[in-house]
Chains A and B, each alone.
Chain A
Amino acid sequence: MTEEIIIAGFGGQGVLSMGKILAYSGVMADQEVAWFPSYGPEMRGGTANVTVILSESRISSPVLNEYDTAIILNQQSMDKFEAMVKPGGVLIYDPNGIIHPPKRTDINIYKIEGTLIAAELGNVKTFNMVVLGAYLKAKPVVKMESVEKGLQKSLPTRHHYLIPMNLEAVQKGFESLELVQAV
């Protein structure tokens, strides 16, 4: 099994770190992983995206023209990546700031109110963890215990007190995924 994911949004939304935690979770589940970010000036406020690949076997290209799953967190990313989801694949988006919702009819589409839920949880920084939880509901590629281990591995020890709050956000996202269209 190979899962090829693009996570795309604004810099500052935690796109890269969400990808990183997913990658670490894959490592904890003994999978092959690749994490390939867009880098450079985009890091500072512009669009940011990261490709994450989880696989049972050796990973070939970290650069892809189609994805099993696209996690889309702003309109620019929707414009760019909606067309690149494989037929029958998955698109998850946060409707906050989306003017043109996805139109594809050959893919599974889900919504996650990540911005709202993170605000309700009292910490907008948990936004990316809410989205990660939603993704794991749609695609259970790693178990929750691997996510916990992934958080432990990817966060510096001085930030470990934040792990319970992050796991709560993941759980909340997991419970809040809404199906828009199934194929």
Chain B
Amino acid sequence: MGELRLMKGNEVIAEAAIRCGCDGYFGYPITPQSEVMETLMDREPWNETGMVVLQAESEIASIHMVHGAAGSGKKVMTSSSSPGISLMAEGISYLAGAELPCLIVNVQRGGPGLGTIQPSQADYWQSTKGGGHGDYRLIVLAPSSVQEMNDFVELGFKLAFKYRNPAMILTDGVIGQMMEKVVLADYIPRLTDEEINEKYGSWVTNGRKHNRQRNIITSLEMDSVRMENNNLRLQEKYARMEEEDVLFEEIQCEDAEYLLVAFGSSSRICQKAVDQAREKGIKVGLLRPISLFPFPKKPIAVLAKQVKGMLVVEMNAGQMIEDVQLAAGCSIPVKHFGRMGGIIPSPGEVVEALEQKLIGG
């Protein structure tokens, strides 16, 4: 077993990055996630593992630095919060178009605009449906504990390299600022240049080698037929993600008559709500999508045949509910309960909403 620590979610992101053999972090300060870069700068991983940490001049520069380093086959990442992710949208689209692997952490805050620094889940659409221009998808993982903040760094990189696609950890100030016990992973050494050439030599731009053709990384293709083929190849890749890498958790669903659907911090609140509702005699379960893209459509479709109704609980005006409704079909009511503006719903409010919107109605 690895080392046990009590840590904040944001600090764990930094620690996990160092330990998983990350080659570089490029970022720009923004609340509520500045502890990620602060922890990295304090840890000085360049002395320990050789990991590069650079405070860029903007989120725009950060994400394009990630592009450059990812294009040379390096395991690199950035982190930000909602307004910063909007600035990165350009670069994220380019990364997806050029099929480069990287990890992006979004510790969400309330919006739109400058909004609030308090927690929110209002970037669900931005993360799962685009955000930048063009037909592309990110692999989106939603941790609900500090332990998962740790685990999803390596998992995010693994999936990013499996598909040559950017992966995102979508979290918020609740998980980012919370301290919990965490078992840290053991150190994985960074790849050497030889290992990178051996694994990724067919696409990396780290200097043309004698034994390979030169590589070009671009998302540009002026020929429409070839560009459509590029799009089709991306779509095939996204379909493969939906086949192979859907992640979710079911809590007390076996005998459930009602279902809560929630991700990230909301799912923690809903776990408590499930307990409180069951004390009142309401048989309710919780489905927690862990991968928001690929979305767990199948388990929701299966549970739609079992339960009398679903309540989607999100810290937004109703975003994931559209995916739940599509998966559940029209046979049962699918309602939404959300708070916005940085207000975190309490378990009691969730039970009340369940009673009012589904059971009473």
Q: Are A36's CB and B177's CB within 8 A? A: yes
**Known A-B contacts A33-B6, A153-B6; A20 and B268 likewise in contact (beta carbons under 8 Å):** no
Q: Give the CA-CA distance A35 to B346 in the complex, in Å.
A: 16
Q: Are A24's CB and B6's CB within 8 A? A: yes
Which of B89-97, B98-106, B269-277 has 4 or more CB atoms under 8 Å from chain A? B269-277
In the complex, whether A101 has a CB less than 8 A from a CB of chain B is no
Interface of A is mostly: mixed
Q: Are B275's CB and A62's CB within 8 A? A: no
Q: Are A40's CB and B31's CB within 8 A? A: yes
Measured CB to CB, the residues of B under 8 A from A are: 4, 6, 31-32, 117-118, 173-174, 177-181, 265, 268-273, 275, 344-349
**Known A-B contacts A34-B178, A65-B347; A39 and B173 likewise in contact (beta carbons under 8 Å):** yes
Q: Are B346's CB and A65's CB within 8 A? A: yes
**Nearest neighbor of A84 in chain B, beta-carbon distance:** B346
Q: Give the CA-CA distance A63 to B270 in the complex, in Å.
A: 10
**Known A-B contacts A34-B178, A39-B173, A61-B269; A23 and B348 likewise in contact (beta carbons under 8 Å):** no
**Known A-B contacts A27-B6, A65-B349; A36 and B271 likewise in contact (beta carbons under 8 Å):** no
In the complex, whether A119 has a CB less than 8 A from a CB of chain B is no
Q: Are B181's CB and A27's CB within 8 A? A: yes
Q: Are B174's CB and A63's CB within 8 A? A: yes
In the complex, whether A60 has a CB less than 8 A from a CB of chain B is yes
* Residue interface mask A10-26, B partner, CB < 8 A = 1: 00000000001001100
**Nearest neighbor of A32 in chain B, beta-carbon distance:** B181
In the complex, whether A66 has a CB less than 8 A from a CB of chain B is yes
Name the contact of B347 in the complex, choosing from A20, A35, A40, A64 (C-beta under 8 A): A64
Q: Are B32's CB and A61's CB within 8 A? A: no
Question: Shortest Cβ distance from B288 into chain A, in angstroms?
Answer: 12
Question: Shortest Cβ distance from B236 into chain A, in angstroms?
Answer: 39
List of B residues within 8 angstroms of A20 by Cβ: 179
Q: Are B177's CB and A37's CB within 8 A? A: yes
In the complex, whether A59 has a CB less than 8 A from a CB of chain B is yes
List of B residues within 8 angstroms of A59 by Cβ: 180
Q: Are B268's CB and A60's CB within 8 A? A: yes
List of B residues within 8 angstroms of A154 by Cβ: 6
**Known A-B contacts A33-B6, A36-B174; A63 and B179 likewise in contact (beta carbons under 8 Å):** no
Question: Shortest Cβ distance from A152 into chain B, in angstroms?
Answer: 13
List of A residues within 8 angstroms of B180 by Cβ: 32-35, 59
**Known A-B contacts A62-B268, A64-B346, A66-B348; A34 and B179 likewise in contact (beta carbons under 8 Å):** yes
B32, B265, B268: residue with the most chain A Cβ atoms closer than 10 Å: B268
Q: Are B347's CB and A23's CB within 8 A? A: no
Ranked nearest first, the 9 interchain pairs of A and B with the lowest CB-CB distance are: A60-B271, A65-B346, A61-B272, A35-B179, A65-B348, A60-B272, A61-B269, A36-B178, A63-B344
Q: Are B178's CB and A62's CB within 8 A? A: yes
Interface contacts beyond A33-B180, A64-B272: sample of 10 additional A-B pairs, CB < 8 Å, sorted by A: A27-B181, A32-B181, A33-B6, A34-B180, A36-B178, A37-B178, A40-B31, A40-B32, A62-B265, A63-B346
Count of chain A residues near B, Cβ 8 A: 22
Question: Shortest Cβ distance from A113 into chain B, in angstroms?
Answer: 29
List of A residues within 8 angstroms of B269 by Cβ: 60-61, 63
List of B residues within 8 angstroms of A40 by Cβ: 31-32, 117-118
List of A residues within 8 angstroms of B347 by Cβ: 60-61, 63-65
List of A residues within 8 angstroms of B118 by Cβ: 40
List of B residues within 8 angstroms of A153 by Cβ: 6
Q: Are A62's CB and B6's CB within 8 A? A: no
Question: Shortest Cβ distance from A171 into chain B, in angstroms?
Answer: 24
Q: Give the CA-CA distance A20 to B272 in the complex, in Å.
A: 23
**Nearest neighbor of B180 in chain A, beta-carbon distance:** A34
A24, A33, A35, A60: residue with the most chain B Cβ atoms closer than 10 Å: A60
Q: Give the CA-CA distance A64 to B117 in the complex, in Å.
A: 20
List of B residues within 8 angstroms of A62 by Cβ: 174, 178, 265, 268
Q: Give the CA-CA distance A33 to B265 in the complex, in Å.
A: 16
A36, A39, A61, A64: residue with the most chain B Cβ atoms closer than 10 Å: A61
**Known A-B contacts A64-B346, A153-B6; A39 and B177 likewise in contact (beta carbons under 8 Å):** yes
Q: Give the CA-CA distance A154 to B273 in the complex, in Å.
A: 32
